Amino acid sequence: MTARDDVAARATAGFQRVYASPPAGRWAAPGRVNLIGEHTDYNDGFVLPFALPLRTVVAAAPAAEDRWQVWSELTGETVSFGTAEVTATGSGTPGPVTGWAAYVAAVVWALREAGHRVPGARLAVASDVPLGAGLSSSAALEAAVLAALVDLGGLDLPAEQQPRLAQRAENGYVGAPTGIMDQSAVIRCHAGHALFLDCRTEQVEHIPFELEPAGLAVLVIDSQAPHRHADGEYAARRASCERAAKQLGVTALRDVPAEQLDDALARLTDDETRRRVRHVVTENQRVLDTVALLRAERVRQIGPLLTASHTSMRDDFAITVPEIDTAVEAALAAGALGARMTGGGFGGCVLALVEAAQADQVAAAVTAAYAERAFTPPTHTTAIPAAGATRLD
Ligand code: ADP
Ligand code: MG
């Protein structure tokens, strides 16, 4: 049995056990990893995520009344809420359902806020997406629940409108200030492709990103580094970028093209701000360059762009940590074509583009480098660009 069948089977078994009846259907949404384009999203820039084979599966059935019950394998809890808990609380105020079930209540809330008649439902969740590792288990949960509710209720909400609704759920009800990338990736990705997303216009393009036929693999290494001060540092980077955009007289740093970078830097007085701007402007260009190479089927050649992205995050944006830098350096030394931290920083995952035949050797080298420094041993998975949220049966 593959891991994919397994997680779906666990969702069904959980549903049967908790509700003593079979589900009406199962819906799945994947985790995601960002190939390149870090901290560009809130600067109105470009990102290039792809969906992972790791998935969250929701088994669901309609309920007779306007109540929602949800069980998750993760906690073994069943949480129940009614219309009172998912009625508009006012923008920016987290909703009354808290903890993990907030992500589910948030989706019901956002659908209702957008005027949809959401059917009551029973839900059971199982997942292979690791939590809090930067692979977007939160968006996977939102997207799988959203897909289930849209289908069960026959709601008119096309896939291209779903990311914004899921983002609204996470921002407005859970209270997490995320951008549009995670939800776009887990809903809209296609198998064998990365999703080129313009965070200003929300336009997407599916860029072929076939690894196996090229004899390549992407290793996703969970650094196991604790997220130190991630929220505060994220807010500080964001504020710095917004200040810089104001000083430069542009709406967002996306409006500074790479060829005008030197002029822009000369107009900034503070060295730290200059480094932050340099990261964002060069990173946007690296996304565009990566897309151009992938379109030309020159996949191996994106390696140096990945590594340059890492160097920029380490030296200019200052968002890496020793575990992450160790993993990148060890992967490169063991023959990776390129490697970088992925995600917001201060922990999370590293991705490495490797010759498929060398994947084990690169993973072993990272593990050995960790052992030398007495870091918590890393875990890894091999990523194959997968499809976005879908109904299973
Ligand atoms: P990430 O999205 O990077 O994994 P987040 O902090 O944004 O990290 O979201 C993780 C949270 O999402 C978890 O703490 C939990 O509340 C919720 N979550 C995600 N997947 C599940 C699941 N299968 N069951 C219950 N809660 C989940
Ligand atoms: Mg998340």
Q: Are 193 and 385 in contact (CB under 8 A)?
A: yes
For residue 149, the surrounding DSSP H or E stretch is helix 137-153
How does strand 121-127 pair with strand 67-72? parallel
Pocket of ligand 1 (CB under 6 A): 56, 72, 74, 100, 103, 125, 127, 131-138, 141
Domains 3-206+387-391 and 210-383 share a fold: no
Among 77, 136, 137, 182, name the best residue to mutate to test ligand 1's pocket (greatest count of ligand atoms within 8 A of Cβ). 137
Distance CA(135)–CA(146), nearest Å, equals 18
Report the half-sphere exposure of 262 (CA within 13 A, side-chain side). Answer: 1
pTM of the model: 0.95
Q: Which residue has the CA at smallest separation from atom 9 of ligand 1?
A: 138
Nearest to 52 by CA among 35, 66, 70: 35
Where are the domains positioned within the chain? 3-206+387-391, 210-383
- Write out the CATH class of domain 3-206+387-391: alpha beta
Q: Tokens at residue 54, please?
A: 């790791």
Residue 245 Cα to ligand 1 middle (Å): 33
Indicate which atom in ligand 1 lies nearest the CA of residue 348: 3
In the residue annotation, 182 being an active-site residue is answered as: yes
Q: Work out the burial of residue 296: count CB atoms within 10 Å of its CB; fewer than 13 is exposed, 13-18 middle, 19 or more buried.
A: exposed
Active-site residue identified among 41, 128, 182, 289: 182
Residue 384 Cα to ligand 2 middle (Å): 20
Distance CA(129)–CA(133), nearest Å, equals 9
Architecture of domain 210-383: 2-Layer Sandwich (3.30)
In order along its 393 residues, the chain shows pLDDT tens digits of: 455 569 999 999 999 999 999 999 999 999 999 999 999 999 999 999 999 999 999 999 999 999 999 999 999 999 999 999 999 766 557 889 999 999 999 999 999 999 999 999 999 999 999 998 889 999 999 999 999 999 999 999 999 999 999 999 999 999 988 889 999 999 999 999 999 999 999 999 999 999 999 999 999 999 999 877 788 999 999 999 999 999 999 999 999 999 999 999 999 999 999 999 999 999 999 999 999 999 999 999 999 999 999 999 999 999 999 999 999 999 999 999 999 999 999 999 999 999 999 999 999 999 999 999 999 999 999 999 999 999 999
Nearest to 36 by CA among 258, 328, 254, 309: 309
